[in-house]
Amino acid sequence: MSVELTGAEITIRCLQEEGVHCIFGYPGGAVLFIYDELFKQDKVRHILVRHEQAAVHAADGYARSSNNVGVALVTSGPGVTNAVTGIATAYMDSIPMVIISGQVPTSAIGLDAFQEVDTVGITRPCVKHNFLVKDITELAQTIKKAFYIASTGRPGPVLVDIPKDVSQQKTKFAYPDKITMRSYNPVTKGHSRQIKRAAELILSAKRPVIYAGGGVILSDAAPQLTELVQMLNFPCTNTLMGLGGYPATDKQSLGMLGMHGTYEANMAMQYCDVLVAVGARFDDRVIGNPKHFSNENRKIIHIDIDPSSISKRVKVDVPIVGDVLDVLKELIKLLKAGKEKPDQVALKEWWKQIELWRERDCLKYDRESKIIKPQMVIEKLFNITKGDAFITSDVGQHQMWAAQFYKFDKPRRWINSGGLGTMGFGMPAAMGVQLANPKGKVACITGEASIQMCIQELSTCKQYKLPLKIVNLNNRYMGMVRQWQEFFHGNRYAESYMNALPDFVKLAESYGHIGMKIERPEDVEGALKEAFKLKDQLVFMDFITDQTENVFPMVPGGKGLSEMILV
Amino acid sequence: MENEAGALSRVAGLFSARGYNIESLSVAPTEDPTLSRMTVVTIGSDEVVEQVTKQLNKLIEVVKIIDLNEGNHIERELMLVKVRAIGSDREEIKRLVEIFRGCIIDVTDKSYTIELTGTSSKLDAFLEAVERSAVLETVRTGASGIGRGEWILKV
């Protein structure tokens, strides 16, 4: 007969059974029993953050860069409400994550107890699923379900709310081997007839484009996508979430598409005759105004694991519901088995057209500038790290420049908040990335506005000796806000000037890190090289950049993809 | 859907979060006590209804969803209505209740409480037939629906 364990012991045992090595959290009253059990063991490492938002972002970065489920542990009340931004961030980008939250004792629920919030209610719209465990006998099974739901189908965050008394009570522990749920059976294999139709359409294409999103990264299908693109000699464009799904330095890559996508990618999207959407969802930042997009006559194949992503904003001709990896494998097999090839003459013409679009050189900027151009910093970063670093970012202009100028050849190297657009994501996410990849080079490209939203994590980095390289593109503005105000609000820069900035060098030094201030273009390369030589140190590089620089190309909100503002 | 705490609020929350309309919603446990059956009446274009269906399907606790409008179906709604019934009106209202195949389930010397089932439009028609000022109070359940013939919704 097995011994009885407390709810807290069971929680930790479940994490061990799931193979969790590292969790991120912050203790508090409702989770004290769980922390006590964490203290007594050494299989699961706990990283103490300085704010719960950072715990969830760090777990998120851990998950994105490793394809393990990220785990965060927070207390009730403000612990949970602080975590909500992180949870919503992960939800929008479909990141597999389990959040364990403490709750007031079951007898106190609903009585406005100290540090009580309706956690399940508050998080409901931003989780894949959540649970309140009121009965200790259901705890182990619930945690099993949470990991299963988080990591299968379209992944997402799942929250398990554990009242304090449940973590204290005892029951027999048995971890279920597997779970079956009658109400949750995600499809993985695509419908073979639909895949056949897709293959036929692909072979008939004269002006094809492959448009690949975050689904390729999430299902680890980058090698299959690359194989498909290269065997067909089709152009491929990646979304912000899909960067690294196809090697950006390859000649068949058109770069990123969308609001700040390349001219060639957006034009090819608009004027193609067959569009193959792979794990992407035609969102507003990608295709602009759907009415404008649907003016052009083209056939669309859409592969996605989530049926609700299909025909949501754009009507598609060949929908394929399934895991991108499975479907691509089937599609490749089918295309290889047949002798047919797409019309090579037409394809040659199409590439000629694309080369003409490429000649616009839409990402050009003033390389002779006497003030540091942010694009140049990222190009140098790319060169110095040989394109092999993990790059996290915050949100704004620096994020778009990072996406445009750091050429990602591998998946899971580009970590950013694409859907929710969460400022403050970059540094905590980089902590998670570094912990998942202790030997990896990790850089956080940020701005002086974003970095201040989670700046307290410099302390966490000190405690755990995380040698992040922080690339602060400091233009003394919330750059993207300023850019919109310049374009659309008559140059009235309402509240977008970052006044009273700290001395970032001294700030970094006060946490025991190294700080650098770089003000001249000729010093950029040297500073970056020096920073990466300091392998065991966090280096905060404060680059004083051109205040007036804007992100181009730009498709203004509500406009069509081909209505770009070019530099 | 699974008969679990919070399942109803997930459905209701989804409709409000995504801006869909709920005309009515009725829910109760089925012959299998682990399952509840919910009938939701919504209004929208085919595309919107398709999205509503797909989004509902994503809720973990939803076991199965069917669009009753895709086939023949029967729907019924229950209404309890309290009307003022004095003097000659009492006979008139009784006749009306008979025509609509309802029944009077509570009586005072000034009022009748009437039970009526039917499609929502039949209930609307009854309320129109009764003099407006006579209607004191109404309570309606929202529609419940089921497919016609031998076809059944199996999970």
Q: Which of A52, A264, A379, A457 is the catalytic position?
A: A52
Do the Cβ atoms of B54 and A183 come within 8 Å? no
Q: How many CA atoms lie within 13 A of B10 on its CB side?
A: 24
Do the Cβ atoms of B1 and A183 come within 8 Å? yes
**Mean pLDDT within A151-163:** 98
User: How close, in Å, is residue B99 to chain A by CA atoms?
Assistant: 44
What percent of chain A is modeled with pLDDT above 90?
95
What is the length of chain A?
Answer: 567
pLDDT at A262: 98
User: d(Cα A348, Cα B90) in Å, to the nearest integer?
Assistant: 86
pLDDT at A369: 96
Q: Which of A4, A41, A114, A509 is the catalytic position?
A: A114
User: d(Cα A490, Cα A513) in Å, to the nearest integer?
Assistant: 41
Contact A410/A64 with Cβ under 8 angstroms? no
pLDDT at A164: 98
Name every chain A residue with its beta carbon within 8 A of the beta carbon of B13. Answer: 124-125
Q: What is the mean pLDDT of chain B?
A: 95
Q: Give the helix/strand (H/E) hosting A470.
A: strand A469-474
User: How close, in Å, is residue A126 to chain B by CA atoms?
Assistant: 11
> Is B149 exposed, middle or buried (CB count within 10 Å of its CB: 0-12, 13-18, 19+)?
exposed
Token pair of A83 as six digits? 């975590």
A388-427 tens-digit pLDDT: 999 999 999 999 999 999 999 999 999 999 999 999 999 9
A430-461 tens-digit pLDDT: 999 999 999 999 999 999 999 999 999 999 99
User: d(Cα A73, Cα A439) in Å, to the nearest integer?
Assistant: 25
What ipTM, to 2 d.p.? 0.91
A84-135 tens-digit pLDDT: 999 999 999 999 999 999 999 999 999 999 999 999 999 999 999 999 999 9
Judged by DSSP in three states, B51 sits in helix
**Mean pLDDT within B20-30:** 95
Is A540 among the residues known to form the active site?
A: no
Q: Is B141 on the interface with A (CB under 8 A)?
A: no
Q: Is B17 on the interface with A (CB under 8 A)?
A: yes
**Mean pLDDT within A359-378:** 97
Do the Cβ atoms of B155 and A121 come within 8 Å? no
Closest by CA to A202, choosing from A280, A306, A292, A277, is A277
**Mean pLDDT within A167-195:** 95
Q: Is B9 on the interface with A (CB under 8 A)?
A: yes
Token pair of A542 as six digits? 């404060």
Contact A286/A239 with Cβ under 8 angstroms? yes
pLDDT at A167: 98
**Mean pLDDT within B4-24:** 93
User: d(Cα A502, Cα A504) in Å, to the nearest integer?
Assistant: 6
A253-270 tens-digit pLDDT: 999 999 999 999 999 999
pTM of the model: 0.96
Instruction: Give the confidence band of A478 by pLDDT, cuts at 50, 70, 90.
Output: very high
pLDDT at A499: 84
pLDDT at A1: 53
Which of A129, A159, A183, A316 would best serve as a mutation to test chain B binding (most B beta carbons within 10 A)? A183
Is A52 among the residues known to form the active site?
A: yes
Token pair of A106 as six digits? 């079951």
- Helix B7-17 crosses helix B46-58 at what angle (to 10 degrees)? 140
pLDDT at B131: 86
Do the Cβ atoms of B58 and A308 come within 8 Å? yes
Instruction: Give the confidence band of A295 by pLDDT, cuts at 50, 70, 90.
Output: confident
User: d(Cα A150, Cα A513) in Å, to the nearest integer?
Assistant: 36
Q: Is A180 on the interface with B (CB under 8 A)?
A: no
Q: Which residues in chain A (256-315) have CB-CB distances under 8 A to chain B?
A: 306-308, 311-312
> Is A159 exposed, middle or buried (CB count within 10 Å of its CB: 0-12, 13-18, 19+)?
buried
User: How close, in Å, is residue A308 to chain B by CA atoms?
Assistant: 5
Q: Is B51 on the interface with A (CB under 8 A)?
A: yes
Q: Which of A164, A373, A441, A469 is the catalytic position?
A: A164
pLDDT at A519: 98
Contact A382/A441 with Cβ under 8 angstroms? no
Do the Cβ atoms of A308 and B57 come within 8 Å? yes
What percent of chain A is modeled with pLDDT above 70?
100
Task: Please report which residue ranges of A160-221 form alpha helices under DSSP H.
Answer: 164-168, 192-203, 214-218
Chain A residue with minimal CA distance to B55? A308
